[in-house]
Amino acid sequence: MKLITRDTDYALRAVCFIVKNKKTVSVPELVRELNIPRPFLRKILQVLSRKGIVRSFKGKGGGFTLGLPPEKIYLLDLLRIFQGPLKLNECTLNKKRCPKISNCPLSKKLSGIEKQVLRELKPITIASLIKGMA
């Protein structure tokens, strides 16, 4: 199980790169600097643009800038955008909701772990990640 998928990882790296460069960043520059396949990166940037995380500018000198301040972009938001809600507590034995979930000892343990992970992830912003990289 991966907590952070490739899509989320690439989105996080692209947003951090844009923040650190403090300017409009082109797709070729992002591809070159981050070593992310161009079609994959374009798809990720389109999603980030639709969600308001980045803004896109077309034409000569075009590219991407932040749509929000780095203090307002949370890691948990990126996880939800690209992966959906964090769910550790889904029964692996049954695709439907298990009728015994309220009495399941594994479910109770996983629910506690899930809440702890969410508490730990909630305060992490792009700004705090960039600060930690310095």
| 37-59: pLDDT as tens digits | 999 999 999 999 999 999 999 88
pLDDT band at 132 (very low <50, low <70, confident <90, very high): confident
pLDDT at residue 95 greater than cutoff 70:
no
pLDDT band at 93 (very low <50, low <70, confident <90, very high): low
pLDDT at residue 97 greater than cutoff 80:
no
Pairing of β 54-57 and β 63-66 = antiparallel
Q: Which two tokens stand for residue 130?
A: 């960039």
68-83 pLDDT, tens digit per residue, is: 999 999 999 999 999 9
pLDDT at residue 26 greater than cutoff 80:
yes
Q: What percent of the chain has pLDDT over 90?
A: 62
The residues spanned by each domain of the chain are 6-85+124-133
pLDDT at res. 24: 93
Total residue length of the chain: 134
* Distance from chain centroid for Cα 53: 10
Torsion sign, CA atoms 131, 6, 84, 65: positive
The CATH architecture of the domain made up of 6-85+124-133 is Orthogonal Bundle (1.10)
Residue in the structure block whose two tokens are 């930690």: 132
- At residue 126, φ and ψ (nearest 5 deg) are -60, -40
- pTM attached to this predicted model: 0.84
